[in-house]
Structure 1
Amino acid sequence: MKAKPTHWASKAENGSYLAIRALLTLYRFGGKWLIMFCLAPILAYFFLKDRNARNASLQFLQQVHHFKGPASPFKQQPNYWQSYKHFWQFALAALAKIDAWLGRLSQNNVSYGGSLSFEKIALSGKGAVIIGSHLGNQEVCRALVRSKYPIRINILAHTQHTAAFNRILKESSSDVDLHLIEVTALTPAVSVMLSDCIERGELVVIVGDRISAQTPERAVWADFMGKPAPFAVGPWVLASVLQCPVYLMFCLKQQQSYNLIFEPFSDGIHIPRKHRQQVLTELAQRYAKVLETFACRYPLQWFNFYDFWQLPTAKQHKEHSGDNSSN
């Protein structure tokens, strides 16, 4: 039942470029109901084929149920049917990304929740770091915000395991990866580039719910739904280097609309060398608590299909990153 502790970045993309392209062409010209009819057996195939992702989904949904107790979003303990619905929501989220970049989602489909409006962030004139996650649909948020506000948004991402889908997104709209930055390490050159972005009043977006693709052992542990889970240190180190305001962001689907949530996190992060590990752990715990709240409220929009509470084994990490000792 329990999924093997694999590294998230080692998970291969399901489906070839041509297959994904064919499906999305069908979607653009055949409409929602036709693509959903075609998606059902394809999704069932991948659900049965990908045992690790299937079990990781079930593990997560059951953990939500046990953690929330009487307040669980599920009437009974989730089973594989709930897990399949989890996969189904992931597929719908992928289609929503296409809709967003094609302009099929309007501002009428959006509500702005949280304690802070994006307008206040955009019009402040100050650069900022925004910490997102793989809960909800960050791509939809980016497209909708971009259509309303002229502010430049720079996305730090690891895209190698979603190359085909990202290529199709780019073909759908030339703006998709205009400011998408592939970053595997926070080098001095990257720091200078991002500092310039902040100086110009731009936003830098990075996710905080996945450990480093290159150095997963640098993670810090924080309580998440009653169990310790590893969290990345990169977002907090980056924010401390850039010395700017930090906000949390979530984009969650509610029936036929999206709730864009922005929460202030810090006016500026400082990580003293003497207490570095302690401060990083505290920052990760604060983030984990907010992430936990929304993940329990929208469990089927959690798109981390691996054992979130485990670090990958040394062997698995080596297989993913390769032997770089000679570099």
Structure 2
Amino acid sequence: MKQQWLERPEAGGVFGYRLISLFARLCGRAPARLVLFPITAFFLLKRAPERRASRDYLQRVLGRKPTLKDVAKQFHYFASVILDRLFLLSESFKRFDVRVHGLDVLRAQWAKKQGVLIFGSHLGSFDALRVLGEVRKDVKVRVVLDIEHNAALTNFLHAFNPELARSIINARQDGAVTALAIKEALDEGALVTLLVDRARPDNQMSIVNFLGDPAPFPTGPWQLAAALKVPVVLCFGLYRGGNRYDLHFEAFADTVRVERSNRETSLNAIIQRYADRLAHYTRNAPYNWFNFYDFWHLNSTSSPSSDNSGVARAADGVERRPD
């Protein structure tokens, strides 16, 4: 399967997002959830590459041939999380039953008054971590985001929550600018969040085992963490159906250390540790996987040795920046 996630059109535009948002806000979350069934049907009928990718993934994680019902359930979970994003970003947390696990990991960092890199994935809802604002009103969350991909959704969310828009750090800008913005946020004690599971075809990648087969993961976020010398905490916001989410935090490293003498092997070992934890939570919540492309095979014509991602440039910017 050569179709890549960067090449796939968005399933909707700004008008579509605004329409479902208006419907949800006027009628409430429960009536809006009825719209998820035609959305699920649309993906099943019209998005063949995503359907094939879903079957491939589900066979790996379930250990059996997936049924059409399995694929529909994964699509429905995806649509549910996208709908809930509207409410989570508007801080309507009372609608949800969010159970937080591992909060002591963050409390230990808050006691030190230092910033933390929060590494997440396209598994479940990363927006669920915004409930931390209910735990600590002074917590600042800064999101590192490629605002050019899925532009319609990004533009809509910017209009929907201007405060969130101002907190976003654009991963596509100059590497030194991105590095400085991330470092300043961490120096202020913020939680700086990145999704670290999805490699672009032009990224520097590490090939590690994931769900039984070799898969590419980007090295840029880990190089950035090593350069910044700050703690890394993993976050997994798992959708459990209905209005329930389980938000898991895990300490990954007080400092990510990449051995200069054996850089590739060292990075591979670090990323394998992450892939093992991602696999653990994927098996725990198999229908939460929202990478609807051939995750295990990036375009073979791309060079794994070149890295033009903003996060990787940011890592380089930190390493070159004088103290």
Identify the TM-score tier after normalising by the shorter chain: 0.7 to 0.9
> 2:12 pairs with 6, 12, 15, which one?
15
String of CA shifts for 1:98-121, please: whole Å, max 9, x gaps.
111233223972222137443333
- Distance in 2, matches of 1:33 and 1:194, equals 38
Structure 1 stretch 219-228 or stretch 306-315: which is displaced more? 306-315
- Distance in 2, matches of 1:242 and 1:186, equals 17
> 1:225 pairs with 189, 193, 211, which one?
211
Q: Does 1:294 align with 2:291?
A: no
Amino acid aligned to 2:9: A
Counterpart mapping for 1:118-137 below 5 A: 118-137=106-125
SS in 1 for 2:216: strand
Counterpart mapping for 1:1-327 below 5 A: 4-66=1-63, 77-106=65-94, 109-114=97-102, 116-141=104-129, 143-149=130-136, 150-184=138-172, 187-212=175-200, 215-216=202-203, 218-255=204-241, 256-314=243-301
The unaligned stretches of length 5 or more in structure 2 are 309-323
Native 8 Å contact 1:245 1:268 kept in 2: yes
SS in 2 for 1:264: strand
Native 8 Å contact 1:135 1:302 kept in 2: yes
| CA RMSD after TM alignment | 2.4
SS in 1 for 2:143: strand
String of CA shifts for 1:211-235, please: whole Å, max 9, x gaps.
136x23x211111111111011011
Could you tell me which residue of structure 2 aligns to residue 72 of structure 1?
none
- Distance in 2, matches of 1:147 and 1:280, equals 36
TM-score normalised by the chain length of structure 2: 0.86
Native 8 Å contact 2:232 2:253 kept in 1: yes
- Distance in 2, matches of 1:264 and 1:201, equals 17
- Distance in 2, matches of 1:315 and 1:220, equals 14
Native 8 Å contact 1:134 1:302 kept in 2: yes
Cα offset for 1:264? 0.7
Native 8 Å contact 1:6 1:313 kept in 2: no
Cα offset for 1:50? 1.2
Native 8 Å contact 1:127 1:200 kept in 2: yes
The unaligned stretches of length 5 or more in structure 1 are 67-75, 322-327
SS in 2 for 1:307: coil
Native 8 Å contact 1:5 1:311 kept in 2: yes
- Distance in 1, matches of 2:91 and 2:257, equals 40
Amino acid aligned to 2:212: G
String of CA shifts for 1:177-217, please: whole Å, max 9, x gaps.
2211221377233223322222222222111211136x23x
- Describe the shift of the 1:258–1:121 C-alpha distance in structure 2 as closer, same or farther (beyond 3 A): farther
SS in 2 for 1:161: coil
Identity in percent: 28
Native 8 Å contact 2:43 2:51 kept in 1: no
Amino acid aligned to 2:72: Y
Cα offset for 1:253? 2.2
What number of residue pairs does the alignment pair up?
303
- Distance in 2, matches of 1:10 and 1:185, equals 21
Structure 1 stretch 8-17 or stretch 300-309: which is displaced more? 8-17
Native 8 Å contact 2:123 2:238 kept in 1: yes
Amino acid aligned to 1:203: L
